[in-house]
Structure 1
Amino acid sequence: MATTCDACGHRTNEVKSGGAIKDQGCRLSLHIEKEEDFRRDVLKSDTCGMSIPELDFEVGWGALSSRFTTVEGLLTATKEQLQQQGSLMLGDSAPQFKRQQMTDFLVKFDDILALKLPVTLVLDDAAGNSYIQSLNAPLDDERLSKEYYTRTFEQDDELGVNDMKTENYEQLDAVAEENES
């Protein structure tokens, strides 16, 4: 879904997954070192958390909504959201050191976007529906790694997998059809 406000020009795009939850979660790690890394396509689902370990920065599921963009677009949107949230949380009444911490943090984001600070972008999607474009597919990409993992009980619970009835499912359909007849 893409929207643009005619009044102010604000634009958003959001992707809603129509696919199934994969059998395993997926953790994608991209070392951002070169300009070409910014141009990689990214699909960040709404079940995907994001982190940048070098900044000790982590956001959970849904914090940045789902979107199809580029690495640069994702980082820029993250910075913009931090600026918006920071201005709300750190207004004039906030202590000066807190406002300075946020300013320093945003400067680091500028350094990332200017390739002055190489970092690792980690997308951790328990549903396994996120994607970062490989520049060498089908060969290995030296700056992109994919790790598949078995979800924890808590992750399955958040995704609703623990509540799904899958045993004897076909028999339940047959009983329902007989009752309708």
Structure 2
Amino acid sequence: METKSVNIIDCPICGAKNALKIMTNELDIPYLGKVIETTMICDKCKYRKSDILPVEVKEPKRFILKICGEEDLNKRVIKSSTGYIKIPELGFEVKPGPASQGYISNVEGVLNRLEDSLKTLMNWVETDEEKKKAEEILKRIENIKNGEETATLIIEDPLGHSAIIGDGVKEEKLTEEEIKLLNSGSVFIMEK
């Protein structure tokens, strides 16, 4: 069952009167359950934000997938706004923060998002060594997408709303200790 609503308000970003359209849909998504999908778009300044907010609390979970080839790149990924993403081989970890958004994609889409984030971070690096490290990670992401290198995609969600769906995905319940260790944050590259 799908419930839709649309509201129009003044944009808090640019101040334009009756310019921000807020569209919400209540959906029942397989593996995720009932969610509220929200999209905000300003006709004036083009501000845009989308999110998927789960209605139900589920069991805290960790999903682990060894990315070995093209078949793995096509596996479905549901990442809620409370989901953590890790690729230990690359030293990558994405922690949810206040502006974190949920999305539904596939493994290749997650790698593309990580690539885009890394390219943005490269604009802020201060040394040639940092730039070289970032370029090496970009090359490794490309190798993973081309099946020339393997990596492990881990998604942890203390509210149980994230998932990797497909054959070969290992699913584990998070312990109370593991849940406490998960902190809010942003994107960073861990030293290896």
| TM-score bracket for this pair, using the shorter chain length | 0.5 to 0.7
Aligned-pair distance for 1:110? 1.1
2:94 paired residue number: 59
- Alpha-carbon distance in structure 2 between the residues aligned to 1:133 and 1:153: 22
TM-score by length of 2: 0.64
Question: RCO greater where, 1 or 2, for CA within 8 Å and sep 6 or more?
Answer: 1
Aligned-pair distance for 1:19? 2.1
- Alpha-carbon distance in structure 1 between the residues aligned to 2:181 and 2:135: 37
Amino acid at match of 1:76: N
Amino acid at match of 1:38: L
Which structure 1 segments of 5+ residues have no match?
135-140, 160-181
1:16 paired residue number: 53
Change (3 A) 1:3 1:68: farther
Is 1:79 matched with 2:115? yes
- Alpha-carbon distance in structure 2 between the residues aligned to 1:157 and 1:95: 30
2:28 paired residue number: none
Amino acid at match of 1:121: L
Amino acid at match of 1:19: E
Which runs of at least 4 in structure 1 moved beyond 3 Å after TM superposition? Answer: 1-6, 11-14, 152-159
Give the total of aligned pairs.
Answer: 145
Question: Which is richer in strand?
Answer: 2
- Alpha-carbon distance in structure 1 between the residues aligned to 2:64 and 2:182: 25
Larger C-alpha radius of gyration, 1 or 2?
Answer: 1
Does the CA-based 8 Å contact 2:95-2:183 persist in structure 1?
Answer: no
Does the CA-based 8 Å contact 2:70-2:145 persist in structure 1?
Answer: no
Note the 1:169-180 alignment, pairs <5 A.
none
Is 1:149 matched with 2:174? yes
Is 1:69 matched with 2:101? no
TM-score by length of 1: 0.67
- Alpha-carbon distance in structure 2 between the residues aligned to 1:102 and 1:52: 15
Does the CA-based 8 Å contact 1:13-1:68 persist in structure 2?
Answer: no
1:39 corresponds to which of 74, 79, 85: 74
Change (3 A) 1:3 1:81: farther
Aligned-pair distance for 1:64? 5.9
Question: Which is richer in helix?
Answer: 1
Change (3 A) 1:53 1:5: farther
Q: What per-residue deviation string (whole Å, max 9, x for no partner) do you get for residues 45-69 of structure 1? A: 1111111111222221248631111
